Amino acid sequence: MQTRPFPPVPHGRSPAGAEVRLLVDGMTGGMIHSTVPPGQVNRATIHATVSEFWFVLSGEGQIWRRDDTGEQTTALTRGVSIDIPVGTAFQYRCNGAAPLEFICISMPPWPGSHEATIIAGPWEPNAPEGWPPA
């Protein structure tokens, strides 16, 4: 069993560019808190083995997703939940005045930065580089 307080500072950045706070991890998955500042456009990526569920806590943004059946752009606002199945191309951005914050659950656990392949997406990214957690 794990119980952890909310980390006061981010642990690093996702391969896409969001600030990441590691909340809990286990044998079957992990949970992070992500923050995207206003105006930031993250890099488009595809995951090799990990699927994700997101729940938006606050802010406004958009996520573009593409799989074998098509593509769509979805508004990210408080209370919205989305999934990113393994192999889905995706890119997201914060287009509101406040940071976009969301909880992300990954299954299986995040294996490291090699999991994400950076690809071309619909928007020009401007996110900082970096992914310290292995």
Domains identified in the chain, total number: 1
Q: Which of 45, 39, 88, 29 is nearest to 62 (CA)?
A: 39
pLDDT over 50 at 26, yes or no: yes
115 inside domain:
yes
The domain of 91 spans: 38-51+68-127
Tell whether 85 is covered by a domain: yes
Which of 53-57, 67-71, 73-77, 127-131 shows the lowest per-residue confidence on average (mean pLDDT)? 127-131
- Percent of the chain predicted with pLDDT > 70: 96
List the beta strands (DSSP E) in 18-99. Answer: 19-25, 30-36, 44-47, 51-58, 60-67, 70-77, 81-84, 89-94
pLDDT at 131: 58
Residue 74 placed within a domain: yes
Please, are residues 60 and 34 in contact by the beta-carbon 8 Å criterion?
no
